[in-house]
A and B are shown apart, each in its own frame.
Chain A
């Protein structure tokens, strides 16, 4: 297929396509296993989730074909339009959407529901790619301390960050979907690839470490004093100039700011979010019947799989509902229990392989737009992979985001399909673009 330039498969990366199809089918089989019950054994039964997933898969196929049919330039040209459209959709859903579990994030069409926040991912990727690929815009690499330089040099960085932060704030603050919003942090990886200063990242990393430390250390004033002592001690190693004094002071103020902000954020979190962080960090006593239940049951299900697993449809933990959300966010538990360490490794490797493949493809693009978009795809996919599997094995807090191509759900499957296939289309077009 695809020998003919007019074929829609012309230039399409078959490896990605194959891995995509494999993951989707494996996901569907595992949803069947997770929801399996004796009364409804027909895998095509649409009253059951696996039947519904088949419909979503059909829809995804249609979407994938459509994307390949449309001219690649369409995505470049309308990148901002997509972004604008979905920003509006995400605001509109607050008024038109149906409330589900305390958040207004779903449009309902009869039996089907669509979550516009899911589609914000590819729209943001497109917009970011468009912005960063524009002429000579380069995210600055230098790290200077003069305020004038700072603003001048970081203007583009700040704009780029705005593209990311806008949907994040809308989704987290207005729709109350923390999990979906946090995904947008992954675009930092794109910025890094496009030249974001390492100093900035180190700053971010230090802030993150401080964030965790100030969550673990409950004695706030003690922490601030410790930081002050470290700041004072730093003068033992650097020259005692006025400039250095200001720098150290500024760094200290920033650090103290992070600590206080963390404390503020934590104290203003919703209880269930606080608990999730407590569970991960092992703060206080975790009640395995309440707040610790999800993660504990997930670990039990996966851990009981052993090396080779219990066999397809033989998992007792997932099949009999011990694991909550086992068809969506906790689908990996079914894999872990029924296919064991071997199956888990295969699934993780397939996902990782697809991500690395996308990076590989991105790097061979001649157009900056395609490359940057490709990194957007890889980053979003990886973030989902890391957080989703991390939370089932107790390495990440419980954040309700799906495993790409695997978890049950139309919106997530479709959004990942769009995300990936726009890139596949861009890649297929790479040979034509500068001809």
Chain B
């Protein structure tokens, strides 16, 4: 007792010590609970499993509402490696027809980063319906496995593969770069699937599930309050005509080449055909897909994956004379009655370029109908060497600018990926080839008849004829007429682009010549269409590697044109022989719904130029 009074202050020290410890603890608690967010994130990682809900990809329809692409269910076999204890391993191998070694390899892959033994990974992609059926019966024995339903693209008609493109697994690099995607996701790789990916894919949703310490799903987080629904992809209304596309592909059977048709009044692409093509249904599905892709990829004879309509750069040949004629008239260098001599060739250069027998010097329309080489050698040099310009370099640049205003030499800016610009050679290029001052207009005179270094892709050829059909303007060719149910169209496809030639008479004279080509004495008289005024132009693109490519372009009807179309068939010789019949059949089909020239149709389809069976015969020019 006596000491108690002396020790009285010790109660304060003890009480103070207790309080101090508690204050330290509260500071620590405040730090980890309120200030540091890491623990909240860790807690989410612990207990939340974010499950992706895949949206349905948008359907694609043609201009008349006919289905081009839809979705079919597909089944992925998923595995959570940790939960495969007691699984009937051999059963899995048997159903999937894989070896035990392969099984272990896949389990290992699913267990390693970026996968995890606790999380689901794809074990077998897109099983066939048959495999899925057998699997379903035995699934209860396959512990740790489950089936995830997804969708794959399906095509009611095996057409338009190049235009539609295909969907495939995203590349690792791209998945790492783009926030929306993660590895294993599907993305449009080519064609419309690529350019309209953002619209078609929709938006992934997320379901938040709560898991316990054993990674077992306990339920939904907050009854799904924070879940986001998958938003389905929007439908795409393609501007192509399914029947026309199908018909064109049929006509192009056994031939390498391309057909592109445009509706001149809107710039909508009516068909975009590249031959040889392939059945788009080949490039869906798991195992089949990669097998088929490899096969198509290595088909060096046909190059079926090569989209000629957009990427093959062909010399245009005689169809280019249309542009020359328009430019020269705009420059007041020639008029309807201008006549240039032709002596089976271009006289000033000793008959080169050569020409064919068409009965003497022609006036302007006649020169187009008969496709006179001499005439356009004169015209080309008139343009380049015209007095307005102090030297021919300026004249050449003027010609080049005018040509480019019709599309060649630049990418048209269509809504399809990977189109090529073609080539209109520059002054610099020729300076390099011939040396500065080493060339004149006569050196490059063959440009005037669409040869030499001049190249166009088939889409550009179709666009040129659309400009003529419109008498001087075009809309950027596009293959989609509307996005979504509201059918919205990108503003840039509603903009008129004008060519450098705006003189109506110039167009009238050229169109008269084109009409003449389809009349007696014209280069394509054989391909006339009954009751329809077709305006066409043949072309023969010389090919250093073999037989010339046959080119033909046309629009119809002459007044108020509904279709502008270009066709090129490789190694088919004179344009009037193979390409003109194809174009005329297409026009007939499009305008009348059917053709009456069944015999011609049969012969066109039967012509197999790839294997050298040409029932159409080959022309001289």
* Chain A positions near chain B (C-beta within 8 angstroms): 136, 138, 141, 189, 192-195, 297, 299-307, 316-317, 320-322, 336-337, 340-341, 344-345, 348-349, 352, 355-356, 359, 363, 368, 371, 375, 378, 382, 385-386, 389-390, 393-395
Contact with A along B18-53 (1 / 0, CB 8 A): 110110111011101110101110111011100000
Kindly report which residue of chain B lies nearest to residue A348, judged by CB atoms. B22
Question: In the complex the two chains form, what is the Cα distance from A348 to B3 in whole Å?
Answer: 33
Contact B25 A336 (CB under 8 A): no
* List of B residues within 8 angstroms of A352 by Cβ: 18-19, 22
* List of A residues within 8 angstroms of B15 by Cβ: 356, 359
**Sample of 20 A–B contacts (CB below 8 Å):** A193-B11, A303-B40, A304-B39, A305-B33, A316-B47, A316-B48, A320-B47, A321-B214, A337-B43, A341-B29, A341-B33, A348-B22, A352-B22, A355-B18, A356-B15, A375-B14, A386-B25, A389-B25, A390-B25, A395-B24
* List of B residues within 8 angstroms of A378 by Cβ: 14, 18
Contact B39 A303 (CB under 8 A): yes
Contact B14 A359 (CB under 8 A): yes
Contact A336 B29 (CB under 8 A): yes
Question: In the complex the two chains form, what is the Cα distance from A348 to B18 in whole Å?
Answer: 11
Contact B213 A344 (CB under 8 A): no
- Known contacts A300-B43, A348-B25, A359-B11; decide if A320 and B211 are in contact (CB<8 Å): yes
Contact A348 B26 (CB under 8 A): yes
Report whether over half of chain B's contact residues are helix, strand or loop; otherwise say mixed: helix
Contact A386 B21 (CB under 8 A): yes
Contact A320 B22 (CB under 8 A): no
* List of B residues within 8 angstroms of A317 by Cβ: 43, 46-47
* List of A residues within 8 angstroms of B66 by Cβ: none
Report whether over half of chain A's contact residues are helix, strand or loop; otherwise say mixed: helix
Q: Which of B14, B36, B212 is within 8 Å of A193, CB to CB? A: B14
Question: In the complex the two chains form, what is the Cα distance from A322 to B39 in whole Å?
Answer: 13
* List of B residues within 8 angstroms of A189 by Cβ: 14
**Closest Cβ–Cβ distance, residue A38 to chain B (whole Å):** 8
B218 part of interface (Cβ distance < 8 Å): yes
Contact A192 B26 (CB under 8 A): no
Contact A306 B47 (CB under 8 A): no
Kindly report which residue of chain B lies nearest to residue A317, judged by CB atoms. B43
Given contacts A193-B14, A302-B33, A375-B14, 10 further A-B contacts (CB under 8 A): A194-B3, A302-B32, A306-B33, A320-B213, A337-B43, A352-B19, A378-B14, A386-B21, A390-B25, A393-B25
**Closest Cβ–Cβ distance, residue A364 to chain B (whole Å):** 11
Contact B7 A194 (CB under 8 A): yes
Contact A316 B43 (CB under 8 A): yes
**Closest Cβ–Cβ distance, residue A356 to chain B (whole Å):** 6
Q: Which of B11, B42, B44, B46 is within 8 Å of A363, CB to CB? A: B11
Kindly report which residue of chain A lies nearest to residue B213, judged by CB atoms. A321
Contact B29 A345 (CB under 8 A): yes
- Known contacts A193-B11, A195-B7, A322-B213; decide if A395 and B28 are in contact (CB<8 Å): yes
Question: In the complex the two chains form, what is the Cα distance from A429 to B42 in whole Å?
Answer: 53
**Closest Cβ–Cβ distance, residue A93 to chain B (whole Å):** 32
Kindly report which residue of chain B lies nearest to residue A306, judged by CB atoms. B33
Kindly report which residue of chain A lies nearest to residue B36, judged by CB atoms. A303
**Closest Cβ–Cβ distance, residue B11 to chain A (whole Å):** 5
**Closest Cβ–Cβ distance, residue A125 to chain B (whole Å):** 15
* List of A residues within 8 angstroms of B113 by Cβ: none
* List of A residues within 8 angstroms of B11 by Cβ: 193, 359, 363
Question: In the complex the two chains form, what is the Cα distance from A299 to B43 in whole Å?
Answer: 10
Contact A138 B3 (CB under 8 A): yes
Kindly report which residue of chain A lies nearest to residue B219, judged by CB atoms. A38
**Closest Cβ–Cβ distance, residue A151 to chain B (whole Å):** 20
* Chain B positions near chain A (C-beta within 8 angstroms): 1-4, 7, 10-11, 14-15, 18-19, 21-22, 24-26, 28-30, 32-34, 36, 38-40, 42-44, 46-48, 210-214, 218
Contact B25 A356 (CB under 8 A): no
**Closest Cβ–Cβ distance, residue B2 to chain A (whole Å):** 8
* List of B residues within 8 angstroms of A356 by Cβ: 15, 18-19
* List of A residues within 8 angstroms of B47 by Cβ: 316-317, 320, 322
Number of A-B contacts (CB under 8 A): 116
* List of B residues within 8 angstroms of A375 by Cβ: 14
* List of A residues within 8 angstroms of B211 by Cβ: 320
Q: Which of A302, A316, A317, A386 has the most CB of B within 10 A?
A: A316
Kindly report which residue of chain A lies nearest to residue B26, judged by CB atoms. A345
Question: In the complex the two chains form, what is the Cα distance from A253 to B191 in whole Å?
Answer: 86
* List of B residues within 8 angstroms of A136 by Cβ: 2
Kindly report which residue of chain A lies nearest to residue B210, judged by CB atoms. A316
Contact A300 B26 (CB under 8 A): no
Contact A303 B25 (CB under 8 A): no
Contact A302 B42 (CB under 8 A): no
Question: In the complex the two chains form, what is the Cα distance from A299 to B46 in whole Å?
Answer: 13
* List of A residues within 8 angstroms of B2 by Cβ: 136, 138
Contact A195 B22 (CB under 8 A): no
Question: In the complex the two chains form, what is the Cα distance from A317 to B39 in whole Å?
Answer: 11
Chain A to chain B: the 9 pairs with minimum beta-carbon distance, closest first: A303-B39, A304-B43, A320-B212, A316-B47, A303-B32, A321-B213, A341-B33, A300-B42, A304-B40
- Known contacts A303-B39, A320-B218; decide if A341 and B30 are in contact (CB<8 Å): yes
**Closest Cβ–Cβ distance, residue B529 to chain A (whole Å):** 74
* List of B residues within 8 angstroms of A307 by Cβ: 33-34
* List of A residues within 8 angstroms of B40 by Cβ: 303-304, 306
Question: In the complex the two chains form, what is the Cα distance from A395 to B47 in whole Å?
Answer: 25
- Known contacts A303-B38, A382-B18, A393-B28; decide if A195 and B210 are in contact (CB<8 Å): no
Contact A341 B34 (CB under 8 A): yes
Contact A344 B10 (CB under 8 A): no
* List of A residues within 8 angstroms of B32 by Cβ: 299, 302-303, 393
Question: In the complex the two chains form, what is the Cα distance from A58 to B80 in whole Å?
Answer: 47
Contact A336 B14 (CB under 8 A): no
Question: In the complex the two chains form, what is the Cα distance from A138 to B43 in whole Å?
Answer: 53
* List of A residues within 8 angstroms of B28 by Cβ: 393-395
Question: In the complex the two chains form, what is the Cα distance from A307 to B32 in whole Å?
Answer: 10
* List of B residues within 8 angstroms of A302 by Cβ: 29, 32-33, 39
Contact B1 A368 (CB under 8 A): yes
* List of A residues within 8 angstroms of B29 by Cβ: 302, 336, 341, 344-345, 348, 393
* List of A residues within 8 angstroms of B4 by Cβ: 368, 371
Kindly report which residue of chain B lies nearest to residue A342, judged by CB atoms. B33
Kindly report which residue of chain A lies nearest to residue B25, judged by CB atoms. A389
Kindly report which residue of chain B lies nearest to residue A362, judged by CB atoms. B11
**Closest Cβ–Cβ distance, residue B16 to chain A (whole Å):** 10
**Closest Cβ–Cβ distance, residue B245 to chain A (whole Å):** 55
* List of B residues within 8 angstroms of A389 by Cβ: 25
Kindly report which residue of chain B lies nearest to residue A189, judged by CB atoms. B14
**Closest Cβ–Cβ distance, residue B176 to chain A (whole Å):** 27
Question: In the complex the two chains form, what is the Cα distance from A339 to B28 in whole Å?
Answer: 16
Question: In the complex the two chains form, what is the Cα distance from A342 to B210 in whole Å?
Answer: 25
Question: In the complex the two chains form, what is the Cα distance from A386 to B26 in whole Å?
Answer: 11
**Closest Cβ–Cβ distance, residue B363 to chain A (whole Å):** 88
* List of B residues within 8 angstroms of A193 by Cβ: 7, 10-11, 14
Question: In the complex the two chains form, what is the Cα distance from A270 to B28 in whole Å?
Answer: 29
Kindly report which residue of chain A lies nearest to residue B29, judged by CB atoms. A344
Q: Which of A341, A349, A355 has the most CB of B within 10 A?
A: A341
Question: In the complex the two chains form, what is the Cα distance from A116 to B258 in whole Å?
Answer: 94
**Closest Cβ–Cβ distance, residue B444 to chain A (whole Å):** 75
Q: Which of A194, A304, A378 has the most CB of B within 10 A?
A: A304
**Closest Cβ–Cβ distance, residue B492 to chain A (whole Å):** 50
* List of B residues within 8 angstroms of A300 by Cβ: 39, 42-43, 46
Kindly report which residue of chain A lies nearest to residue B18, judged by CB atoms. A382
Question: In the complex the two chains form, what is the Cα distance from A378 to B19 in whole Å?
Answer: 13
**Closest Cβ–Cβ distance, residue B282 to chain A (whole Å):** 47
* List of B residues within 8 angstroms of A304 by Cβ: 39-40, 42-44
Kindly report which residue of chain A lies nearest to residue B48, judged by CB atoms. A316
Question: In the complex the two chains form, what is the Cα distance from A299 to B48 in whole Å?
Answer: 17
Contact B10 A192 (CB under 8 A): yes
Kindly report which residue of chain A lies nearest to residue B42, judged by CB atoms. A300
**Closest Cβ–Cβ distance, residue A233 to chain B (whole Å):** 31
**Closest Cβ–Cβ distance, residue B214 to chain A (whole Å):** 8
Contact B36 A395 (CB under 8 A): no
